[in-house]
Amino acid sequence: MTIVGLLGTIHNEEIRNRVNCTLNLYKDIIIEFNPEIICGEVHPQSWMKYQNDKSLRGYWGEPASEYWDLISPLCEQHNIEFVPIDWFELDVWNNSI
């Protein structure tokens, strides 16, 4: 049997702090759950670029900071596989900004 956990996040740091839903809380929850894999709202091409250069944090203005500030380092520290699962058509995205 496979156990799946779903953790929603608040993307705005100011709101996270105001409602006491900090990155440290997310970190504690993830560590307690002890996942083998984390799937996240990150475009695969953004993830590839980030893997090659850690200073490239979403070159289309996505994803939210918790991926770069918490989830990616946590995956590296705890040997958790990260799978980027966000998808959008780049031509549509580029035309909308």
**C-alpha–C-alpha distance, residues 33 and 27, integer Å:** 10
Query: pLDDT digits over 49-72, tens only?
Result: 888 888 877 656 566 788 888 999
Which band of pLDDT confidence, cut at 50, 70 and 90, is reported for residue 92?
low
26, amino acid identity: Y
CA distance 45 to 89: 11
Sequence spans of domains, the chain: 38-96
Q: What is the mean pLDDT of the segment spanning 66-87?
A: 91
What's the residue count for the chain?
Answer: 97
Give CA–CA dist 9/97, Å, rounded.
Answer: 24
Q: How far apart are the first and last CA of the chain?
A: 43
Please tell me the pTM assigned to this model.
0.79
Question: In the prediction, which pLDDT does 12 show?
Answer: 86
The string of DSSP codes covering 58-73 is: -TTS-S-HHIIIIIHH
Say if residues 77 and 24 touch (Cβ distance below 8 Å): no
